[in-house]
Amino acid sequence: MFVLQMQKGFNRGEFMKRKNNGFAAGIALIVAVISCTTALAEEPKPGTRTLVPVHDPYTSRQSLTGVDSQGRPNGMDDATWARLQDDVIDYDEIENLVEYRSVIAQQQYAAIDNIAVDMNTIVDSLTSSIEDLNAVIADLKNDKNNAHNEAEKEMYEQSIKTINAMISSSKSTDTLHVSKASAESSLTSSVNRIKMSMHGNKVSIVTGMNAAFIGYQSLNELDNMYQKQVDMYQTIYDYMQRSRAAGMATELQVKKAEADLKSAMINLNKNRENMRSVREKMALLLGWNSSNYGNVSIGTMPAYDESYIITRNLDNDIVEARLHNVAYGTARGTVDKNITGYTTTDISRNEAKENLNVSMSSLYNTVLKAAVENSAAQAGYALAERQKGQAERSYAAGTVGNSEYSAALVQYIVSEAQANMAMINASAAVLNYQAALKGFV
């Protein structure tokens, strides 16, 4: 940096003309200045600065937080980035929302920025010092070329070697390049520790949000059912009012129709309040705030893949799930100093392994069971649809009354909802199994 030298009227031209003791004194001054300036504060840079990963130097430069100054994740394509910024929460983007937009993501960014401020200052200071010394070397080389005698050229050459050794040397680890690499390594290692410490919480949030998304789909199906019931009872109530006016219905029949309508409306409104609550809680946790969470909507359920489970091998999938499961990984990573016998650590590891085996087996069987229940529900719905058609024809012919016709409509609406619910459950079973393979269980 040489800030101190410049403030005191330092002139490179004068420095180059110093001889013998002058050169030694000048180099000593450079060392002193660099020692001081490594601790000087510069304008802090956030965790969005980019560095070549220390442990993988052949990869592209990446930001510390994993996002750029606009919040865009490293390497994310335009289409995925556009979806991540809209106000629709889709199932397949929950993991990205948790990683990059959620409350815990913001906490992680803040923690990384907090350490990056000081560490960036050190890295930047060392970088500036190296750049300044390289500029000094360039000037020395120029003056060496212009020197008139060998003694003077030798003097410049020794100074160049001395400064080069300060920057980088195979014979010493006490150089600026080593110090910079060490600072960057410390920075990236600290960032990795922060991310690792929050990984378990992220997994829990993803798992919870997946469940909330699926639960919302069930509430949405109930909303459809309740709305159809309200529409049906409203039609019946209107009919009864007209019939009473014509002397064809009693007051008791009108009140019964009104009570049925009010009950259906209560169910509809209560369910919509539950939907609103789930939607807003998901939005707030996944990164929206009190000023914009009202704009959020929940996407539709991914299509049910009935053939998925047929292609899976449970034993192989259990092995795959172990690679990503937090509880199993934590147990495996536990260090036990007692290696002479069967210890509590061994018990913990085996317990985590067995729990995962049980969980995966249970999820696998749930997929199979949900598929059977879905088939039965679809068959029941098809039957109710035929019965509804028959009731409509009979009602039009006058062979059945209002109560029989209403009962057939109610059964049809309920059977339709049950069939759709069964489809949701079957799809959810597959999604939960797939999520477990990635550690979200």
Q: What share of the chain is helix, strand, coil (3-state, %, to 5)?
A: 75, 0, 25
Q: Report the C-alpha gap between 251 and 240 in whole angstroms.
A: 9
Q: Which residues contact 432 (CB under 8 A, 6 or more apart)?
A: 210, 363, 366, 441
Tell me, what's the pLDDT at 441? 79
Mean pLDDT of the chain: 83
Token pair listed for 283: 């939005």
Tell me, what's the pLDDT at 286? 96
Question: Residue range 275-300: average pLDDT?
Answer: 95
In the chain, what are the domain boundaries?
A: 3-85+112-197, 302-441
Tell me, what's the pLDDT at 381? 95
Q: Report the C-alpha gap between 52 and 62 in whole angstroms.
A: 6
Q: Would the pLDDT of 336 be above 80?
A: no
Least confident stretch, 6-20, 232-246, 288-302: 6-20
Q: Would the pLDDT of 372 be above 80?
A: yes
Tell me, what's the pLDDT at 341? 54
Predicted confidence band of residue 340 (pLDDT cuts 50, 70, 90): low
Question: Residue range 337-343: average pLDDT?
Answer: 55
Sign of dihedral through CA atoms 26, 30, 35, 41?
positive
CA distances from 401 to 77, 243, 251, 278, 300 (A): 61, 13, 18, 41, 39
What does the pLDDT look like over 312-335, one tens digit per residue?
999 999 999 988 887 777 766 565
What does the pLDDT look like over 168-220, one tens digit per residue?
876 767 788 888 888 877 888 888 889 889 988 999 999 999 999 999 999 99
Q: Would the pLDDT of 97 be above 90?
A: yes
pLDDT > 90 fraction of the chain, expressed in percent and rounded: 50
Tell me, what's the pLDDT at 183? 80
What does the pLDDT look like over 117-169, one tens digit per residue?
777 778 778 888 888 889 989 999 998 888 888 888 888 888 888 888 888 87
Tell me, what's the pLDDT at 26? 43
Tell me, what's the pLDDT at 332? 66
Q: Report the C-alpha gap between 423 and 196 in whole angstroms.
A: 37
Closest by CA position to 236, among listed 255, 215, 216: 255
Tell me, what's the pLDDT at 29? 40
Q: Would the pLDDT of 361 be above 70?
A: yes
Token pair listed for 185: 């390594």
DSSP category for residue 62: E
Tell me, what's the pLDDT at 308? 95
Element (DSSP H or E) covering residue 404: helix 402-437
The torsion angles phi and psi of 148, rounded to 5 degrees, stand at -100, -15
Least confident stretch, 12-16, 68-72, 120-124: 12-16
Closest by CA position to 86, among listed 284, 298, 290, 272: 298
Tell me, what's the pLDDT at 4? 31
